[in-house]
Amino acid sequence: MLQTNLNHINSEDEFKQIIENNENVMICCGRMGPMCLPVYDAMESLEDKYENVKFYDMDFDTPHAHVIRNHELARKFMGLPFTFYFKNGQAVHATTSIQTKKQVKSNLDEYLT
């Protein structure tokens, strides 16, 4: 279990329901490591400003995280965390490795408006 203040995704069913029932979803799939923590922090600090987006994290080492780990957009990813942006159930953008708050904001503005 990730120790963040974000909502966690704990099963594949939950993942499917979340991306199908919400127009805009951002999911950060990682561990509690130095490359992942800044992304969780950035998401936590942006939750209030982006009320149209649902923010979640997912533990990279859980079996259900295969939905992110093995996603087509993550095929070449070699750095944690894997961060995904979903719109109307479809992954519209994904990033690998550490991202700044500015980069996260920019992606939210570009892909989840």
* Interface positions with another protein (CB under 8 A): 31-38, 41-42, 44-45, 76-80, 95-98, 101-102
Instruction: Identify which of residues 34 and 70 has a Cβ nearer to another protein in the complex.
Output: 34
Q: How far is the CB of 27 from another protein (least distance, A)?
A: 16
Residue among 34 and 90 whose Cβ is closer to another protein = 34
Task: Find tokens 């980069």 and name the residue.
Answer: 103
Which residues does residue 27 pair with via DSSP β-bridges, in sequence order? 56, 84
**24 vs 83, beta carbon nearer another protein:** 83
Angle value at C-alpha 45, between 57 and 83, nearest 5 degrees: 35
Among residues 14, 7, 6, 18, the alpha carbon closest in space to that of 88 is found at 18
How many other CB atoms are there within 10 angstroms of residue 59's CB atom? 17
In angstroms, give the least distance from the CB of 26 to another protein: 15
The secondary structure of 90-106 as a DSSP string is EEEEEEES---HHHHHH
Q: Which is nearer to another protein, 22 or 103 (CB)?
A: 103
